[in-house]
Structure 1
């Protein structure tokens, strides 16, 4: 089964660290939604969406990409990094009409200096750490193993 992960990782590369580890262990195509706003995803069986959480939302480039490019009836999964807490509401809304099957969600802390957090020196320093990265790889393995 072919897998693509559509992502945005703009500030500290937190999300990209997780995805690079997954891509090193498994055959996946990484699509940077900031650089590639449109792509035909029909040839993929599974499509992941990954982003940092910005004011309780996925990055706008990922949300726009999902709204424009997501085919009907695909398996999906979500990966996020965050300073505060995980929130998948925005990406779930973007996929509501696509009849996708959600395989799972993975989130972990990520170093965050966005907005007011910069004044305090940031949140979640040192994250994602090795355990967070290993957790992302284990999550991907779990949702993609043939049952």
Structure 2
């Protein structure tokens, strides 16, 4: 199974820690959406979109990358790191428009100093931690060890 994870990890590297841990154990191509604007995704069997939550949405570079490059009828999984709460709606709208199948969602806390969190020294310090990283790998393994069928 050929897998790519398209990601943006901008402030504290929370999302990058998660996807790097997944990539250590499996053959996964990591695509930084802040650096890569276009990429043919048709050759991948499974595509992940990973981002921190910025203003209640996935990072704009991931949303734009998905809207430009995602092809119809792909199996897609989502990963987000957050200080406040997990939010998937922005990327789910793009995926629905492209007629793709969401096969799983993973989220965990990540150190966050954005906006009002900066005033209190940040939230979710120490995350993602070892437990979060192990849970992310377990989530991904669950996707790849089971056959995935389109709706």
**TM-score after normalising by structure 1:** 0.98
Distance 1:121 1:80 in 2: 21
Aligned partner of 2:85 in structure 1 is 85
The answer to whether the Cα contact below 8 Å between 2:95 and 2:101 also exists between their aligned partners in 1 is no
Structure-1 residue corresponding to 2:51? 51
Deviation at residue 16 of structure 1 after TM alignment? 0.3
Measured on the aligned residues, the alpha-carbon RMSD in Å equals 0.7
Aligned residues: 147
CA distance in 2, matches of 1:146, 1:123: 35
**Which residue number corresponds to residue 112 of structure 1?**
112
1:122 aligns with: 122
Pairing of 1:37-76 with structure 2 (within 5 A): 37-76=37-76
How far did 1:146 drift? Answer: 3.3
**Runs of 4+ with >3 A deviation:** none
Structure-2-length-normalised TM-score:
0.95
The alpha-carbon deviation at position 64 of structure 1 amounts to 0.3
CA shift, 1:98, in A, is: 1.5
